[in-house]
Chain A
Amino acid sequence: GIQVEQSPPDLILQEGANSTLRCNFSDSVNNLQWFHQNPWGQLINLFYIPSGTKQNGRLSATTVATERYSLLYISSSQTTDSGVYFCAADSGGSNYKLTFGKGTLLTVNP
């Protein structure tokens, strides 16, 4: 099945800094999603982005499908951005199973 790798595994920032999280995947994708897992475990959908670029407030994402990677940008980070960011992808098929990367643990310090 598809392999999903995220980097960096950990990231520590000062409030106000910008950051870029990367997701590499091993196959062409039918679906690629970015999530933020809050301290209570809830997965928050950030982007559905199998290709192209999207922006939502301080967050934006770009997926270059031909080169098999996606980037999540966080600008002007806030302490509430802390948590684990997951990238997940599926390569299609009958059940469209998402494979998750190991996540990036982001800590934003005041």
Chain B
Amino acid sequence: GAVVSQHPSRVICKSGTSVKIECRSLDFQATTMFWYRQFPKQSLMLMATSNEGSKATYEQGVEKDKFLINHASLTLSTLTVTSAHPEDSSFYICSARWRLAGGMTKNIQYFGAGTRLSVL
């Protein structure tokens, strides 16, 4: 159980285009989903937190107009990198917190396999 699917796994795009990354919880409902960014040989940095049906909360220094997050259901969140540029090239990872019946949540976060974005 607790599978988080992230697609695509890799994307190469031209500068100026927009790229959408999907994050789905396959066998559980996710109260909250998180988006991280990881540069080579570095740790994960939280970009934003999204709760179903509400606007995402962005970390300091993350451009909300550049990184659009939509969390339309309890099983799907999307990250759109708008007008991508080479400096946006990175590894993007999503995670989800498990919402149990009755509205309680598990504390554990489950992670997707990541998306490697290369902007030419």
Interface centre among B45, B46, B95, B107 (most CB of A within 10 A): B107
Do B107 and A42 touch across chains, with their CB atoms under 8 A apart?
no
Interface size on A, residues (CB 8 A): 23
Q: Mark B41-74, 1 if CB is under 8 A from A, else 0.
A: 0111110010100000100000000000000000
Name the distance in Å between A92's Cβ and chain B's nearest Cβ. Answer: 9
CA distance A31 to B106 in the complex (A): 10
Contact B108 A96 (CB under 8 A): no
Residues of B contacting A33 in the complex (Cβ-Cβ under 8 angstroms): 108-109
| B60 CB, nearest partner CB in chain A, Å | 11
Can you list, as one digit per residue, whether each of A75-110 has a CB less than 8 Å from chain B (1) or not (0)? Answer: 000000000001010100001111111110000000
The answer to whether B108 touches A97 (Cβ under 8 A) is no
Known: A41-B91, A86-B43, A102-B43. A30 touches B113 (CB 8 A): no
Q: What is the 8 Å Cβ interface bit string for chain B, positions 95-115, against chain A (1 contact, 0 not)?
A: 101000000000111110110
Report which of A41, A86, A96 forms a contact with B113, defined as CB distance below 8 A.
Answer: A41
Beta-carbon nearest neighbor of A103 in chain B: B43
Q: Which residues of A contact B32 (CB under 8 A)?
A: 95-96
9 closest A-B pairs by CB: A43-B111, A31-B107, A41-B114, A48-B108, A100-B44, A100-B43, A42-B113, A95-B49, A102-B43
